[in-house]
């Protein structure tokens, strides 16, 4: 067997608690290494390693906020230090190419490939902090020009890149995401360990998963839930799992009112296994997001045997296919009716469950890694 291709992969995001892009980096790196055609060299921001870190850096989020509050131009300072460490590692390891999984690639003299997950900064700039938008405006177009190949999670985003940035089709490669093996159907009787401390019953709660920010449209889920009959809300509490994000104050009043009712519970960020167990016990996943480049929780819910209620926006229909129950993102009454149907109509619930399990079989990290490895070869041949 030939020696695995050495690839520098920016894994600095793995210092933080893992959400979408963090899960992507960790899962892709593991799948690439398992296929033994690629050896990812992971740059963690502090050094280099070949194995994926098991968990985020303890206290990283608090430390990051503290540094930003006391160090002028903290991002630029950190970036300069990381660039130096990155360059030193590249000189030592001599990777064949560099894969940037986000919008800000480091300086690198060899072939560079990047993944662009979505164009949130284009369509919903109001959901991004001003300093982040400024950095995106400075970096993203030069990065797209530098990249020999650009990976996307969906055809939807690939088409957007062609329209908005004029990227040639031959430089784009769609590599749909996968789901971890921890997402699978589980007997409800086995889930009491995770549900009992929350005061809920397996199979008798609704779940929202995602960072608390305006783009995720949590306010719609809250409005739709509030329209349900009181008896239904008592039987099916709404659990919300996710980190606090940008502009959470935009819907803070609605969220606080819902929490005060006792029928809506805010769980914060959950570790991987706890989230997988909680998802498997949900009656359904509510995913009213306004815009997604993929929508990983949708795939994870389907793989867990949980029906998904979602908006027919952006890349979401590519992921859920015919298994999803779609209602427009601005229609709380429609969402309320759809929720009730998936609660009251057991045949419909079962049909959506089976369809979701079938739909999920078309996605895997092994497939994503195979497409990505082919993109590496394309970049080297350019």
Query: Does the pLDDT of residue 9 top 50, yes or no?
Result: yes
pLDDT for 1 equals: 46
Per-residue pLDDT averaged across 209-231, rounded? 87
Residues of the chain with CATH 3.40.50.2000: 5-178+364-381, 188-360
- Residues 24 and 18: beta-carbon distance below 8 Å: no
Which of 6-15, 250-259, 319-328 is predicted least confidently?
A: 250-259
Superfamily of domain 5-178+364-381: Glycogen Phosphorylase B; (3.40.50.2000)
Average pLDDT taken over every residue of the chain = 89
Per-residue pLDDT averaged across 345-374, rounded? 97
Superfamily of domain 188-360: Glycogen Phosphorylase B; (3.40.50.2000)
Q: What is the pLDDT of residues 278-329, one digit of tens each?
A: 999 999 999 999 999 999 999 999 999 999 999 999 999 999 999 999 999 9
pLDDT for 61 equals: 55
Tell me the percentage of the chain whose pLDDT exceeds 70. 89
Query: Does the pLDDT of residue 127 top 70, yes or no?
Result: no
Question: What Å distances lie between residue 361 and 63, 299, 302, 355, 365, CA to CA?
Answer: 40, 10, 9, 10, 11
Q: What is the pLDDT of residues 322-354, one digit of tens each?
A: 999 999 998 999 999 999 999 999 999 999 999
pLDDT for 100 equals: 97
Per-residue pLDDT averaged across 258-266, rounded? 79
Taking each helix axis as running N to C, give the angle between helix 332-344 and helix 346-360, from 0 to 180 degrees, rounded to the nearest 10: 100
Q: What is the pLDDT of residues 64-103, one digit of tens each?
A: 555 555 556 666 788 889 999 999 999 999 999 999 998 8
pLDDT for 57 equals: 60
pLDDT for 233 equals: 95
The residue that leads in pLDDT, 1 or 182, is 182
Q: What is the pLDDT of residues 176-208, one digit of tens each?
A: 999 999 999 999 999 999 999 999 999 999 999
- Residues 6 and 96: beta-carbon distance below 8 Å: yes
pLDDT for 65 equals: 57
Q: Nearest CA to 369 among 38, 48, 7?
A: 38
């Amino acid at each position: 067997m030939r020696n695995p291709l050495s690839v520098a992969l920016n894994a600095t995001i793995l210092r933080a608690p893992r959400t979408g892009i963090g899960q992507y980096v960790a899962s892709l790196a593991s799948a690439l290494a398992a296929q033994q055609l690629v050896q990812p060299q992971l740059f963690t921001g502090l050094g280099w390693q070949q194995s994926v870190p098991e968990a985020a850096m303890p206290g990283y989020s608090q430390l990051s906020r503290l540094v930003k509050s006391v160090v002028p131009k903290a991002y630029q300072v950190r970036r300069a230090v990381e660039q130096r460490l990155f360059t030193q590692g590249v000189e030592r390891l001599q990777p064949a190419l560099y894969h940037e999984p986000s919008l800000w690639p480091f300086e690198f003299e060899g072939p560079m490939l990047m993944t662009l997950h979505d164009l949130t900064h284009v369509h919903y700039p109001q959901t991004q902090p001003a300093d982040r938008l400024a950095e995106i405006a400075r970096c993203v177009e030069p990065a797209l020009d530098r990249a020999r190949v650009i990976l996307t999670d969906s055809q939807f985003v690939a088409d957007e890149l062609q329209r908005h940035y004029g990227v040639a089709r031959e430089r784009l490669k769609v590599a749909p995401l996968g789901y971890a093996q921890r997402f699978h159907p589980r007997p409800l009787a086995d889930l009491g360990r995770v549900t009992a401390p929350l005061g809920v019953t397996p199979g008798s709660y609704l779940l929202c998963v995602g960072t608390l920010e305006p783009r995720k449209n949590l306010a719609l889920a809250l409005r739709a839930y509030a329209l349900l009959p009181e008896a239904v809300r008592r039987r099916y509490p709404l659990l919300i799992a996710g980190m606090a994000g940008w502009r959470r104050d935009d819907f803070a009043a609605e969220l606080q009112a819902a929490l005060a009712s006792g029928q809506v519970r805010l769980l914060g960020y959950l570790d991987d296994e706890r989230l997988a167990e909680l998802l498997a016990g949900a009656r359904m996943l509510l995913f009213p997001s306004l815009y997604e480049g993929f929508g990983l929780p949708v795939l994870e819910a389907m793989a867990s045997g949980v029906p998904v209620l979602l908006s027919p926006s952006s890349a979401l229909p590519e992921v859920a296919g015919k298994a999803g129950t779609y209602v427009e993102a601005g229609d709380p009454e429609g969402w309320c009716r759809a929720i009730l149907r998936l609660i009251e109509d057991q045949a419909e619930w079962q049909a959506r469950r089976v369809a979701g399990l079938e739909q999920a079989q078309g996605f895997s990290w092994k497939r994503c890694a195979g497409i990505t490895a082919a993109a590496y070869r394309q970049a080297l041949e350019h």
